[in-house]
Structure 1
Amino acid sequence: MFASSHMTQALDTLGKALRHNMLVVATCRDCERQARFLARDLATFYGHGRDPFSLKFRCTECNKHNCRITLMDNPYDRTPETIVWRPVKVKL
């Protein structure tokens, strides 16, 4: 009786992840190094309609593009060990 499709929807865009204050986590499949990004920053950089699972990340440790993308809740009680990266454009 109370089941509704709008109550459970997939977070398939950066805009939806932004509304839920999510982090986008890129984990290298080869060396397991992780990088965390605010969905807000990535949505500003790539656009709110972009699928977060289509983003391409490069591991700074092993220099490969083989990353697994996951979404996670933003820990409000952030500890000093949590590092959040910000995307930037670099002109070469």
Structure 2
Amino acid sequence: MAGPMDSVGRAAKANMLLIVECRHCYHVGRFKANDVAKVVGWNKPLEAIRFRCKQCDRKDTVVKTQFIDQDHPPKGYIWVLQKARG
């Protein structure tokens, strides 16, 4: 058991997805917690992470966590961190 998911780092260590849902248009995005932790920091609380909705361009989102079942990966697109070109 991983314990309460109070930070993005804890979710990353548990190999979880962050499910981000827009409260306005209900668009859903899925992100690997490990990738998000590399950008926002490992100690950032989940409720403090700000995402902008790709559909309606608002920042009113809710972040939830989901375990990744290796035998049955989630359906749908998962956003991954892209390395910057140098």
Question: TM-score range with shorter-chain normalisation?
Answer: 0.7 to 0.9
Tell me the distance in 1 between the aligned counterparts of 2:31 and 2:38. 12
Partner of 1:4: none
Give the counterpart letter for 1:56 in structure 2. Answer: R
| RMSD value, Cα | 2.3
Partner of 2:73: 78
The answer to whether structure 1 residue 13 and structure 2 residue 7 are counterparts is yes
For structure 1, the residue ranges without an aligned partner over 5 or more in a row are: 1-6
SS state of the match for residue 71, structure 1? Answer: strand
The structure with the largest alpha-carbon Rg is 1
The number of residues matched between the two structures is: 83
The answer to whether structure 1 residue 55 and structure 2 residue 49 are counterparts is yes
When normalised by structure 2's length, the TM-score is 0.81
Partner of 1:23: 17
Give the counterpart letter for 1:26 in structure 2. Answer: V
When normalised by structure 1's length, the TM-score is 0.76
